[in-house]
């Protein structure tokens, strides 16, 4: 586990599909990826642990109410990946 200063941002890589899932299927701020860096086929967004948790809450809420099982599965996978990032970091 990596200790980071409180409020620090960590790089989070999203596929364009994951970004679009968040934008199109949750109520999270659709501009969250406005400032992103292209890293190969993924986009890198600098987020605080609090922001990651907030995205995760929106993803979980939508996954729990999704009528489309394929969308639910993609959201669940994204939730788990975000949890892996959170599990690797702790704030001072």
pLDDT per residue rounded down to tens, the chain (92 residues): 899 999 999 999 999 999 999 999 999 998 988 889 999 999 999 999 999 999 999 999 999 999 999 999 999 999 999 999 999 999 99
**Prediction pTM value:** 0.92
Q: Which contacts of 80-86 are long-range, i.e. CB under 8 A and separated by 24 or more positions?
A: 82/12, 82/52, 82/55, 82/56, 83/56, 85/10, 85/12, 85/52, 86/49, 86/52, 86/53, 86/56
């Amino acid at each position: 586990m990596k200790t980071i200063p409180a409020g620090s941002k960590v790089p989070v890589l999203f596929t364009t599909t994951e970004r679009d899932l968040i934008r199109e299927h949750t109520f999270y701020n659709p501009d969250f990826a406005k400032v992103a860096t292209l890293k190969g086929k993924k986009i890198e967004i600098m987020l605080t642990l609090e922001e990651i948790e907030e995205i995760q809450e929106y993803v979980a809420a939508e996954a729990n109410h999704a009528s489309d099982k394929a969308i639910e599965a993609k959201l669940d996978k994204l939730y788990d990946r975000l949890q892996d990032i959170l599990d690797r970091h702790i704030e001072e």
